[in-house]
Amino acid sequence: MPKKTVEDIDVKDKRVLLRVDFNVPLNINTGVISDDSRIRASLPTIKYLVSRKARVIICSHLGRPKGKVVESLRMAPIAQRLSELVDLPVITASDCTGPEVESKAGKLKEGDILVLENLRFHPEEEENDAGFARKLAGLADIYVNDAFGTAHRAHASTVGVAKYLPAVAGFLMTKELRVMEKLLHDPERPSACLIGGAKVSDKMELLQNMLKRVDMLLVGGGMAATFLKAEGYEVGHSLVEDDKLELAKKLLQEAKEWKVPFLLPIDAIVAEEIRAGASTRVVPTTNIPVASHIVDIGPKSIALFQNGLKKCRTVMWNGPMGIYEMPQFAQGTRAIASFLSTLDATTIIGGGSSVEVVQEMGLTGKMTHVSTGGGASLRFLEGATLPGVEVLLDRK
């Protein structure tokens, strides 16, 4: 990796501002964390800093308070859970800047951990305000970014502070970048990219970039309807982005020219209403009823996709195959997740929805890599530069 990591600097007795992504699902009524995987993901970096006798100052956002203090989105429950996981006391602050925070940061001893209050209680965070960034940076001697999930955001805590402190990557950030770089530039062949989700517009740049890099593209989910319509098929009431039809046609044509197999669903589950308990049936994608919605890929499509993927040595999956939030329409998505967990291949799961499914099914440990950053991984694989990575020190 071309960026310096926490192992490249001396952190002993230094105050380290550690940006993490502790934006975990939290019950706003009880304060109970339903999934602590994002906290666990940064434990290697936190434990490393503690073992090297650094004075650790952790900052993160939680939820979308929109620049205001929201009591249910305070960091106290996260700090408590972190304390349990590292088996060490964790100090908390009632803000992320100001005299109280400066005092607590100044009194930290070697190996101490301080968790700052929710960064997004301040509108200056998302505005990348220079003054706010300077105040955060003033708490520490070194900046470590371990929040891959926010690396695509140019915020004060991801970009601004790097102007005032030596900035390096944590272990989680390093792992995510190495996985994504290998996927883009040196995947084990054959490689495939399986893309789902609702809108083509959300993934078009990803498809365009990956078309040149993989040996097979597969598209399911709601976005498949736009490609099916581009090929001249009826798709009923399914969501279609008409302004993307020409791009879809162009992509399909480019796939033919590049001789990259581009698999679309050959059958679908359709329903006249998108609601729980709706009547459904399986139809070929060449014969979608005018009054229906495509709600999932069908059994023949599942078999088609599985047959293509089983030949691959690297598979990246981003996006569900249907309206997975409704169990009745989640069978295609769940079947794909289950199948990927059995492959003797490098399997990379990116995107919030795909990650949620894998976690819900208990398959995380059976995948090679489950990304902690849906938006960041998407931007990276589109070929874009991530602001939170660009500001880190170069190895050279």
pLDDT in tens, 247-296: 999 999 999 999 999 999 999 999 999 999 999 999 999 999 999 999 99
Q: DSSP letters along 252-288, please?
A: HHHHHHHT--EE--SEEEEESS-STT--EEEEETTS-
Among candidate residues 3, 38, 120, 175, the one labeled active-site is 38
Q: Which residue has the tokens 């249907």?
A: 322
**Using N-to-C axis directions, what is the helix angle for 299-309 and 331-340, rounded to 10°?**
20
pLDDT in tens, 159-183: 999 999 999 999 999 999 999 999 9
Q: Is the pLDDT of residue 31 over 90?
A: no
pLDDT at 23 over 90: yes
Alpha-helical segments (H) within the chain:
37-41, 43-51, 76-86, 99-106, 123-126, 130-137, 171-185, 200-211, 224-230, 245-258, 299-309, 331-340, 352-360, 374-381, 387-390
What are the residue boundaries of the structural domains of the chain, listed by start? 6-173, 180-381
74 is annotated as an active-site residue: no
Q: How confident is the model over 97-126, as a mean pLDDT?
A: 98
Q: What is the mean pLDDT of residues 99-123?
A: 98
**pLDDT in the model for residue 89:** 98
- Distance from chain centroid for Cα 117: 23
Share of the chain above pLDDT 70, in %: 99
Rounded to two decimals, what is the model's pTM? 0.93
Confidence of residue 200 (pLDDT cuts 50, 70, 90): confident
d(CA 231, CA 314): 28
Q: Are 6-173 and 180-381 equal in CATH topology? A: yes
For range 8-22, the mean pLDDT: 97
Residue 349 Ramachandran class (φ > 0 left, ψ -120 to 50 alpha, else beta): beta
375 catalytic per annotation:
yes
Overall size of the chain counted in residues? 396
CA distance 314 to 343: 10
| Residue predicted with more confidence, 380 or 28 | 380
**From the candidates 63, 111, 138, 352, which is the catalytic residue?**
352
Annotated catalytic residue: which of 40, 47, 53, 199?
199
> Which CATH number is associated with domain 180-381?
3.40.50.1260
pLDDT in tens, 324-354: 999 999 999 999 999 999 999 999 999 778 9
Question: Is 149 among the residues known to form the active site?
Answer: no
pLDDT of res. 396: 79
* More confident: 102 or 396: 102
pLDDT of amino acid 199: 86
CA distance 249 to 227: 7
In the structure, what pLDDT confidence band is assigned to residue 221 with cuts at 50, 70 and 90? very high
Q: Quote the distance between the C-alpha of residue 1 and its chain's center.
A: 20
CATH architecture, range 6-173 = 3-Layer(aba) Sandwich (3.40)
352 is known as an active-site residue = yes
What distance in Å separates the CA atoms of residue 372 and residue 383, rounded to the nearest whole number? 18
| pLDDT for position 323 | 94
